[in-house]
Amino acid sequence: MAADNHHHELKVEKFETPGNLKTLIAVLSVIGLLTFAISWMKSPERLWPAYLTAFFFFSCLGLGGLFFTAIQHVAKAGWSTSIRRYSEAMTSFIPFIFIGGLVLLAGMKYLFPWADPEVIASNPIVAAKTSYLNVGFFVGRLVLFCGGWFLFKHLIVGNSVKQDITGDHKLTLKNLSLSIGFILFFALSFTAFSMDLLMSLLPTWYSTIFGIYCFAGLFQSSLAFMALMIIFIKRTGFVKGYVTVEHQHDIAKFLKGFTVFWAYIAFSQFMLIWYANIPEETEYYIMRSQNGGWLALSFGLLIFRFIVPFIALLPRGLKRNENHLILVSCLILIMQYLDIYWMVYPNFFDGQVTFGVVEIGIFCGFAGLFLWAVVSFFKKFSLIPIKDPRLNEAINHHVTY
Min dist. Cβ of residue 220 to another protein (A)? 19
Could you give the maximum distance between any two Cα atoms of the chain, in Å? 72
Q: Taking the alpha carbons of 308, 310, 313, 316 in that order, is the dihedral positive or negative?
A: negative
Residues 248-267 that bind another protein (CB under 8 A): 267
By C-alpha distance, which of 18, 16, 27, 20 is closest to 368? 27
**131 interacts with another protein by CB under 8 A:** no
Considering beta carbons, is residue 109 or 398 the nearer one to another protein? 398
SS3 33: helix
For the chain, state the CA radius of gyration.
Answer: 22
In order of 126, 210, 225, 230, the CA distances from 326 in angstroms are: 44, 29, 9, 10
Residue 30 to residue 187: CA distance in whole angstroms: 35
Query: For residues 41 and 276, which CB has a smaller minimum distance to another protein in the complex?
Result: 276
Pairwise CA distance, residues 80 & 393, whole Å: 9
Q: Which is nearer to another protein, 352 or 392 (CB)?
A: 392
3-class DSSP state of 240 = strand
Minimum CB–partner distance for residue 162 and another protein (Å): 32
Q: For the segment 276-295, give every residue that binds another protein (CB under 8 A).
A: 277
- Comparison of 42 and 316: residue with beta carbon closer to another protein: 316
**Site membership for another protein, residue 316 (CB under 8 A):** yes
Q: Which one, 6 or 42, has the nearer CB to another protein?
A: 6
Using CB under 8 A, count the residues that bind another protein: 15
* Helices and strands (DSSP H and E) totals, the chain: 19, 2
Among 3, 118, 208, 356, binds another protein (CB under 8 A): 3
Nearer to another protein, 19 or 279 (CB): 279
Asked if 41 is part of the footprint of another protein (rule: CB under 8 A), the reply reads no
Q: How far is the CB of 282 from another protein (least distance, A)?
A: 13
Half-sphere exposure of 104 (CA within 13 A, CB side): 26
**Nearer of residues 137 and 267 to another protein, judged by Cβ:** 267
Tell me which H or E stretch contains 141: helix 135-166
**Taking CB under 8 A as the criterion, which residues in 377-396 touch another protein?**
396
Contact predicate 50/362, CB 8 Å: yes
Give the residue, chosen from 19, 131, 237, 275, that forms a contact with another protein under the rule CB under 8 A: 275
In the complex, least distance from residue 401 CB atom to another protein, rounded to whole angstroms? 5
**Euclidean distance between CA atoms 139 and 102, whole angstroms:** 8
Q: Does 208 bind another protein (CB under 8 A)?
A: no
The verdict on 299 binding another protein (CB under 8 A) reads no
Question: Which residues lie near another protein (CB under 8 A)?
Answer: 1-3, 267, 270-271, 274-275, 277, 314, 316, 396, 398, 400-401
